[in-house]
Structure 1
Amino acid sequence: MNVKLFSLATVIAATSFISAPVAADDQLAISICSYVAADSKTNLRKALSDNRLRLRNVYDGIVCDGLPLVRHAIKHNAEDTAGFIISQLPGSQVAASGDAEWAASNGFAASPIINAIKERSAS
């Protein structure tokens, strides 16, 4: 009986311990999305720094309103933040993302962010 009780307590403790970081990660992703939408490069950099994260390591895991960060920035005309995001990613990843094509086909062809994408893709 004590073994079962101990096992159950261990499972409950492990589950609650694992759940806390997931909630924190979700909150961080929500914050990052809101900083991008508000074109707040300073807050985005601070959030990444405070959590000791490199954007290139978490970029693929963050989706804002169903869009990757750069597309989210294009949608919200967040030029400064998009420039920062693009500069933090490898040029090959930027080139392969299809963000410029997505922008052109979704009515954002005039966005100045497209130039930053093209410049980074060329390097």
Structure 2
Amino acid sequence: MNAKLLSLATIIAATSFISTPVAADEQLAQSICSYVAADSKNNLRKTLADNRLRLRNVYDGIVCDGLPLVRHAIKHNAADAAGFIISQLPGSQVAASGDVEWAASNGFGASPIIAAIKERSAS
């Protein structure tokens, strides 16, 4: 009986250690998504700095409403936040993202963010 209780306690303890960072990561990602949608470049920058994160290192892991950060910014016309995001990513990653084509095919071809993407892709 004690062995079963010990096993259950071990599983509960292990689960709590595993789920806490995931919840924190989800909350952080949600904050980043909301700052992008609100076009709050300063809050986005502060959140990344406070958590000692480089955008280029976490960009691929953040999805907002099923979209990568730049596309989320395009959808919400968040030019300042998008400009910051684009400036933090390698030009090759921006060029290979397909964001310009996505924007054109989804009715966002006239977005001023497209010019920033094209400029960064060229560098």
The question of a shared fold, defined as TM-score above 0.5 by the shorter chain, is answered with: yes
Matching residue of 1:21:
21
Does structure 1 residue 35 correspond to structure 2 residue 23?
Answer: no
Aligned residue pairs: how many?
Answer: 123
Match of 2:122 in 1: 122
TM-score, length-scaled by structure 2: 0.95
| Structure 1: distance between partners of 2:44 and 2:28 | 10
Quote how far apart the aligned CAs of 1:11 are. Answer: 1.5
SS at match of 1:109: coil
Matches within 5 A, 1:39-50: 39-50=39-50
TM-score, scaled to structure 1: 0.95
1:58-104 alpha-carbon deviations (Å, 9 max, x no partner)? 11111111110000000111000000000101111000000011111
Map 1:34-113 to 2 at 5 A.
34-113=34-113
The code of the aligned residue for 2:76 comes to: H
Superposed displacement of residue 6, structure 1: 2.3
Unaligned runs of 5+ in 2: none
* Structure-1 separation of matches of 2:110 and 2:92: 23
CA distance in 2, matches of 1:52, 1:11: 31
Q: Secondary structure at the match of 2:19?
A: helix
